[in-house]
Amino acid sequence: MKITKQRAKELMETIELVLGPDKRTATLTITDFAKITGKHRMTIWKACARGDLPASQERKNCKYSIDYSELDRYLPQEAAA
């Protein structure tokens, strides 16, 4: 997903605000993604499993990794600042 540099900065600031400065990362776990968006963890997991939320796994039955840019679809613009 293509986002502007400004939006990327806003999303990273949101990650840092919610998860702490040591968690400023480009990939998120399902738990972290759920915490930031306010959605239930299973809702995010199901979206990943269905392919509605792009995520990767090293191999089957491993944890999902979600690119931080996917937050753009789940967070309103004003909430990211």
Chain segment 11-58, per-residue pLDDT in tens: 999 999 999 988 888 899 999 999 999 999 999 999 999 999 999 998
Contact 23, 33 (CB under 8 A): no
Q: Indicate the CATH number of 5-73 among 3.40.50, 3.30.750, 2.60.120, 1.10.1660.
A: 1.10.1660
Neighbours of 70 (CB within 10 A): 21
**What pLDDT is recorded for position 58?**
86
Rounded to whole angstroms, how far apart are CA atoms 48 and 65?
9
Rounded to whole angstroms, how far apart are CA atoms 76 and 71?
9
**What pLDDT is recorded for position 78?**
59
**What pLDDT is recorded for position 30?**
96
